[in-house]
Amino acid sequence: MQLKTAVSARSASPWSSIRSLWFPAIIILFAASPAFSDDIAKGSSGWQQRCAGIRTSYNPQTELRSDLLTLETNDPRWPAFLAWVQAQQLATSTLIGLRTSPSTDAGKGIVFRWAPGTPWEQEVVIPFGQALAHLLVEREWRDLDFPQFFTSRGGMYGINLAERLFLLDPHSLTPWQQFFQAITAPSSPSAPLRSGRLSAVAPDGQSISMTFGANRVVPYSAARLSLDLRSILSDCSVYSFFQLYDQQHGAPPVASQQSPAPAASSPKAQSAVAVTPGRTVYDRHCSGCHGVNGDGKGLLATSLRPPPRDFTQGLFRYRSTPTGQLPTDEDLLRTVTAGLPGSLMPAWEPFLNEAERQAVVAYLKQFSPRFAPATPRDVLPLPSPPAATAEGVAQGEKLYRDSGCGSCHGDTGKGDGRSGKDLKTAEGNPIVPRDLTNKWSFHGGHTPQDVFQRLSTGMDGSPMASYRDVFSPTDLWNLIFYILSLSPPERPQLTSPSPAG
């Protein structure tokens, strides 16, 4: 797991001068903002009353939509809109907690309160997958950020939050509930980490910075911010912006006979695939990282290196089948259920029931034509390991040296071998060999059998090949015992560099 770390220097960018350019506009906007009474303003019916009958250059002939924000990021009004959003403190949010009560997946998720203290204040339930992508990828939440919580629960390993909570109980949401209870308590030192705000906007409105907690500055694209804004705003609830924009840009253009306001083009509308239960789960929980089209280019994972798997390639690493063959449904289900430790692929058992996990597996297979013919798969044998002996480990060390593992993984297994520097995946993304001295970071698990499976199947799409035809099973076991001997007997604990949480 490697993340491009957001640089805080970004906040002191030349954009600050741009913001001052907008200053006069902001003053006018503040002055002109209508005084709202809370009861009218909150809820869409309140807004509907307010925007009824209002016509601007954006909606010359129709009512403003109260169900949707249709303003596109390439609209000429967009940069001014963001300046207005920033001035009204609309893009300010606080994480409130978990909602688990409804029996259907649709109402469950992580709750954020947006625009607190403004007429636009609203609680939004974000689907678990999207919220995880936000917390893990964009905010980079790790156990080290929350020492109070984890020190009393077995300590910290320097891993992402979802993986650490999964280790507390892989089958339920209880650790998540306890975690959110702890960090939302008024006395919690982690309280500041829960909030975020729009902190800088480039003049073209396309590059944006969000700041989370005290100083974690995260670059956003316009498309990314627009996703958040669409969850809290409608054309109707921002009618005062459209009015002010016209005031500042003179009379509305005459030629705007076209309207109604353009409908938001959603990627879903463009795709011909039918809406199935699997697709619903995928769009809600997986698309933020893997992309709505399965190409690994999710809007919330643009900074993730290597990126989430591109399903359109049909190449999977964690299989029970020989090199070149597709994974079985059970292989995919296992990955989805337990996640891939050491990566940002979360475990879904706490969040999705078995039927939902099966449905999403069926759906993700549709992204690659490789799955189309129902080709039979061979499942490679997975024997029980023999007892490890000192001679076996010594033999394994010799095999490690003789067979070139060290050229990539390094002589001591740290993952720093000379040929390991410029490796690429089949999709062309850089990848580094695993650190073999930390078996807890093996994505496919670290029991002897897990490692046996990786070495015999190979990891398709990655430079890590199959060694099934290279070694006898006995040699393979010895090699594995040697590799596992490189890790300390107990998982090393870390202490927080800065006790922020």
Q: Which residues bind to ligand HEC, rule: CB under 6 A?
A: 129, 132-133, 136-137, 285-286, 288-290, 301, 304, 308-309, 316-318, 327, 332, 335-336, 340, 343-346, 348, 360, 364, 403-405, 407-409, 419-420, 423, 431, 433-434, 436, 442-444, 451, 454-455, 459, 462-464, 467, 479, 483
> Which amino acid makes up residue 43?
G
Task: Find the shortest distance in angstroms from Cβ 346 to ligand HEC.
Answer: 6
Shortest Å, Cβ 264 to ligand HEC: 23
| DSSP calls for 94-139 | EEEEEE--SSSGGG-EEEEEESTTSTT-EEEEE-HHHHHIIIIIIS
Of the two residues 235 and 310, which places its CB atom closer to ligand HEC in the complex?
310
Instruction: Classify residue 166 by burial, with Cβ atoms within 10 Å: 0-12, 13-18, 19+.
Output: buried
Q: How far apart are CA 478 and CA 484, in angstroms?
A: 10
How distant, in Å, are the alpha carbons of 81, 82, 103 from that of 76?
9, 11, 43
Among candidate residues 419, 464, 424, the one with its CA nearest the CA of residue 444: 464
Q: Which is nearer to ligand HEC, 38 or 402 (CB)?
A: 402
Please state, in angstroms and rounded to a whole number, the distance separating the CA atoms of residues 471 and 335: 27
Closest separation between CB of residue 129 and ligand HEC, Å? 4
Going by C-beta distance under 8 Å and a sequence separation of 6 or more, which residues neighbour residue 487?
A: 436, 437, 438, 439, 440, 446
Q: Of 178 and 429, which has the nearer Cβ to ligand HEC?
A: 429
**Residue 82 or 436 having the CB closest to ligand HEC:** 436
Q: How far is the CB of 48 from ligand HEC (least distance, A)?
A: 35
Q: Which of 261, 240, 217 is nearest to 88 (CA)?
A: 240
Complex with ligand HEC: residue 77 or 317, whichever CB lies closer: 317
* C-beta closer to ligand HEC: residue 245 or 482: 482
Bridge partners (DSSP) listed for residue 97 = 111
Nearer to ligand HEC, 119 or 296 (CB): 296
**Residue 204 Cβ vs ligand HEC, minimum distance, rounded to whole Å:** 29
- Least separation in angstroms between residue 261's CB and ligand HEC is 32
Q: Does 322 sit behind a cis peptide bond, omega within 30 degrees of 0 on the bond before it?
A: no
**Shortest distance, position 460 Cβ to ligand HEC, whole Å:** 8
Residue placing its CB nearer to ligand HEC in the complex, 262 or 404: 404
Q: Minimum distance between the CB of residue 74 and ligand HEC, rounded to whole angstroms? A: 27
Alpha-carbon dihedral of residues 199, 237, 42, 224, nearest 10 degrees? -40
Please say whether the beta carbons of 310 and 317 come within 8 A.
no
